[in-house]
Structure 1
């Protein structure tokens, strides 16, 4: 379904039409807030919105029944995509950054939306093994360099002979 752009006035009428969903001209005149537009003005906008594909008509006797074709959610999606394309290089990240920076959405809003429960839990890190440092600081008495052991063994053999 191809969605066309609406003027501000057309969009205002559509807001009322989305609430009504299916209606007659008299329903619009009753539901429209003050100041009420002239009936000819409303008829003109109905004709335009039918041509743009937002409304369909069905003749019932001498009057027309109008029905919304483009749901509000689809129009909203269309507008957001247009906004993203024209002003944010199709980047959801840029839109989100803008919304947060301009305080139009808070981080708490995001957390509640994603149902995030962020808890910082300390990680128990294992103490590093310092084997070399341990040997230097606490040398074992029976551990001797290999060369020293070899020399002592040779001396013992000589004494025995």
Structure 2
């Protein structure tokens, strides 16, 4: 089933509809928080949501009974996939990194949810080597090697 995008107003109505699951127009008018919209406005949104495939209708005498077709969990998955696709290059890792950095989820949450043993250990850097510093600070060692090589070259030349 293809899910279509909802406007903010349609989403607000759907939040109420998801709670009711199956309802009549009069139920919406009773349950909607203040300020209550006009009945014609609610009817218009019901019609739109039926066309978009979020609601179905059953005629009972002269009135319609509405039922939710798209569960809230399915809509949440749709929104998360859309968000991931448009802003995170379809990378769940990037989404998770943002959730962690914004402290919307903790490592303990992840451990409990996935039942994984995740431990973040500080990176141990090896002691830096100062090869060039050694050459500069201890030039005598280098010079000796150089002098020894020069002596060996001179000896070889004399033999030839």
> TM-score, normalized by length of structure 2?
0.71
**RMSD of aligned C-alpha atoms?**
1.3
SS in structure 2 opposite 1:17? Answer: helix
Q: Which has the higher helix share?
A: 2
Per-residue displacement from partner, 1:4-61 (whole Å, max 9, x unpaired)?
0000000000011011111000000111111111111100100100111111111111
SS in structure 2 opposite 1:6? Answer: coil
Moved over 3 A (4+): 116-119
Q: Hey, what's the Cα distance between the residues in 2 that align with 1:117 and 1:17?
A: 40
Equivalenced residue count is 119
Where does residue 125 of structure 2 map in the other structure?
none
List alignment gaps of at least 5 residues for structure 1: 120-161
Query: How much does 1:106 deviate?
Result: 1.1
Q: Hey, what's the Cα distance between the residues in 2 that align with 1:6 and 1:37?
A: 18
Q: Hey, what's the Cα distance between the residues in 1 that align with 2:20 and 2:33?
A: 14
- What aligned pairs does 1:5-154 form with structure 2 within 5 A after superposition? 5-116=5-116
> TM-score, normalized by length of structure 1?
0.71
Change over 3 Å in CA distance of 1:118–1:83 after alignment to 2: closer
